[in-house]
Structure 1
Amino acid sequence: MKTDLTDTTSSKINKALVLGRRAIGTPAIGMVLTLVIVTDEENAYDALKAANEASREHPSRTLVVIKRPSRSPRDRANARLDAEVRLGADASTGETVVLRLYGEVIDHAQSVVLPLLLPDAPVVVWWPVQGPADPASDPLGALGQRRVTDSYASEHPVRELSQRAASYTPGDTDLSWTRITPWRSMLAAALDQVACQVTAAEVEGEEFNPSVELLAMWLADRLKIPVKRSASSGPGLTAVRMETDCGPIVLDRPDGSLATLCIEGQPDRAVALKRRETSELIAEELRRLDPDDTYASALRYGVDRLGDAGRSRDDADRGSSGSADGPADEKPAAKKTASKAPAKKAAAK
């Protein structure tokens, strides 16, 4: 069921939700949270599709906030709020409200969203593309217990990690970190099978991929060892090699789907390590609403190591034309090496 409201208010939207539930015969729906998606018109469809698929695991009220910038001072004066209310089959297992903000209403998006939040339910705010510099200080981000960004979707993905570390507040997370959960689990399980000291590691993957950088930071942070970052043609992460006093441990995934785990003295094993869809990533993030201390530790570890690379990227940016494909035109990042310290086994998250 869909209801279109033009030049409306939050009060009228709430009334449409109540009437819609009665019309479809479900006056009460068990929803566990409110998911606020802040995006643009171009990316709204894909983000909403991912949220609807994730709602099968986490029934929620999804509020899609689309800001329509004014093209002239006259347009800005014509403040307006349009809404599309979806229930039943059109909203998967929850409720969906698509909000389009025009004119001066854009500057007060939090006032539009606040009355539409589910009472006594947690709020998660997600920016599918280009999140704010400081999510916790953003007016909409301040409404959420969890704030989800995606560095990979930003114009300069790796440099974005430095910004995320500088502005980190408990409750922040990033889908680039979520993408490496299976890798972290597999590597921690591999180290649990051997009684060896890890002396060095190498992480291989696409250049300018923040997930590769985060995995290298995590290994360096947890193992206290030098970690080498090397580039490959992808897709995504392609290999992790750890040197130990018992022989090498290698997790190799050349095709983005099936990986091979090689441990000295044991037969090689094929393990499923498929690249996941956005819906699976956001569903994972909705499973936990407490701060991710492991992410915070790994993120902060990489700030100093990214300093020189960040400056080289700035130089490359000044020499580029500033196109949307900026990262692909930048110079290769300097390889990062963590400081040496006694090696320890990694602890699973």
Structure 2
Amino acid sequence: MIIPLPHTTTGEINRQIIDSRKEGGAFALGRVMTLVIDATGADADYAIDTANVASREHPCRIIVMAPQDGDEDRLDAEIRVGGDAGASEVIVLRPSGEQVNHADTLVTPLLLPDAPIVAWWPAGVPANASETGIGKMAQRRITDTKGEENPGDTLCKLSANYRDGDTDLAWTRVTRWRALLAAALEQVTDRAVSKARIHGDTNSASILLLGAWLQRNLDCEIELTYDDKVAGIQHIVLETPSGEIGIFRPDGHNATLTQPGQPEHVIALPARNLGDCLAEELRRLDADRVYGEVLASYKENR
């Protein structure tokens, strides 16, 4: 159910939420956090659909800032509940005019009391997320450097302004790659990696972060190669005295793991969708300091 609220106020929105609970039951019970989405420059409906997928694992209140064009100082909104909100309740704020510059003021009255706040920017990575109006109130701040025109420069800016609670979905996308590489390396006799070769799509922040992680942990040479015609990471090879360890995923679904002295193994390694990545980041509210250290390492060695 979608309840439109044209030319409204945050007070009226809260009253409408209470009325909706009386009519449809206490659907807000059990919400574990507030997820605030700054959808400026993004497809707001796609961001909402993604958040709804993640909310099935993490029931939450979703507040979406989706500014609209126009000079008139006004706030339009809508409330989505039931089938239109997954396991959440969704509040979409569409400010215009001067109200666009007061996102934190609009969001604050709608936050769940005594619940953690997570902020997500699905597009337009802020240079300093923790200093934005929404970022200041959030325990966790999630950006996404995928699609940035110059991801290397963006990662350097994120490193310079990193604060505990920051993370990026480009980092989340390589979680399974990192786990597989660590497990494979445990099984070789001599783990001194001399070189790591990574091949994948052009302008991939995930490849840059994965390379920085390997360099930081293995103190090895990194070779990155790219192909405009592929999507995602295609393969990683670690050169060790015992032989090469390789993970090859040419089809974006299944990967072949090769290790010295062992038969090849085919493992499921599908490209992760946005909902899965967001759900993973919502599982933790503590600082991802490994991400912060990898960012610093990337900036230092660039």
TM-score (norm 2): 0.96
State the identity %.
42
Corresponding residue number in structure 1 for 2:213? 218
Residues 151 and 205 in structure 2, CA contact (< 8 A), matched pair in contact too: yes
Deviation, structure 1 residue 171: 0.6
Deviation, structure 1 residue 9: 1.1
Q: Deviations over 1:208-246 (max 9, x none)?
A: 111011100000011111111122342211111111111
Corresponding residue number in structure 1 for 2:183? 189
- Structure 1 residue 30 and structure 2 residue 30: aligned? yes
Corresponding residue number in structure 2 for 1:84? 78
Corresponding residue number in structure 2 for 1:11? 11
Distance in 1 of aligned mates of 2:106 and 2:73: 13
Q: SS of the counterpart of 1:250? A: strand
The answer for unaligned runs of 5 or more in structure 2 is none
Q: Deviations over 1:6-64 (max 9, x none)?
A: 11111111111111011112265210000011113751011100001111000000001
Bigger shift: 223-232 or 39-48? 39-48
Letter in 2 for 1:51: A
Corresponding residue number in structure 1 for 2:167? 173
Residues 77 and 94 in structure 2, CA contact (< 8 A), matched pair in contact too: yes
Letter in 1 for 2:202: E
Letter in 1 for 2:68: R
Deviation, structure 1 residue 113: 0.0
Counterparts of 1:324-343 in structure 2, within 5 Å, are: none
Letter in 2 for 1:151: T
Corresponding residue number in structure 2 for 1:268? 264
Counterparts of 1:84-103 in structure 2, within 5 Å, are: 84-103=78-97
Distance in 1 of aligned mates of 2:92 and 2:292: 32
Residues 151 and 160 in structure 1, CA contact (< 8 A), matched pair in contact too: yes
Corresponding residue number in structure 1 for 2:286? 290
Distance in 1 of aligned mates of 2:299 and 2:44: 32
Distance in 1 of aligned mates of 2:125 and 2:12: 29
Distance in 2 of aligned mates of 1:162 and 1:145: 22
Distance in 2 of aligned mates of 1:25 and 1:299: 45
Distance in 1 of aligned mates of 2:115 and 2:93: 20
- Structure 1 residue 205 and structure 2 residue 200: aligned? yes
Q: SS of the counterpart of 2:162? A: coil
Distance in 2 of aligned mates of 1:190 and 1:65: 43
Corresponding residue number in structure 2 for 1:66? 66
Counterparts of 1:238-317 in structure 2, within 5 Å, are: 238-306=234-302
Residues 130 and 153 in structure 1, CA contact (< 8 A), matched pair in contact too: no
Distance in 1 of aligned mates of 2:2 and 2:51: 17
Distance in 1 of aligned mates of 2:297 and 2:179: 20
Distance in 2 of aligned mates of 1:132 and 1:198: 36
Residues 6 and 82 in structure 1, CA contact (< 8 A), matched pair in contact too: yes
Letter in 2 for 1:115: P
Deviation, structure 1 residue 131: 2.0
Bigger shift: 297-306 or 270-279? 297-306
- Give the superposed CA RMSD: 1.3
Q: Deviations over 1:170-191 (max 9, x none)?
A: 1110010000001001001101
Letter in 2 for 1:155: E
Q: How many residues align?
A: 300
Residues 125 and 143 in structure 2, CA contact (< 8 A), matched pair in contact too: yes
Residues 235 and 254 in structure 1, CA contact (< 8 A), matched pair in contact too: no
Distance in 2 of aligned mates of 1:48 and 1:214: 27
Residues 41 and 124 in structure 2, CA contact (< 8 A), matched pair in contact too: no
Corresponding residue number in structure 2 for 1:45? 45
Question: Closer, same or farther in 2 for the Cα pair 1:27/1:241, shift >3 Å?
Answer: closer
TM-score (norm 1): 0.83
Show structure 1 runs of 4+ deviating over 4 A: none
Deviation, structure 1 residue 162: 1.1
- Structure 1 residue 229 and structure 2 residue 228: aligned? no
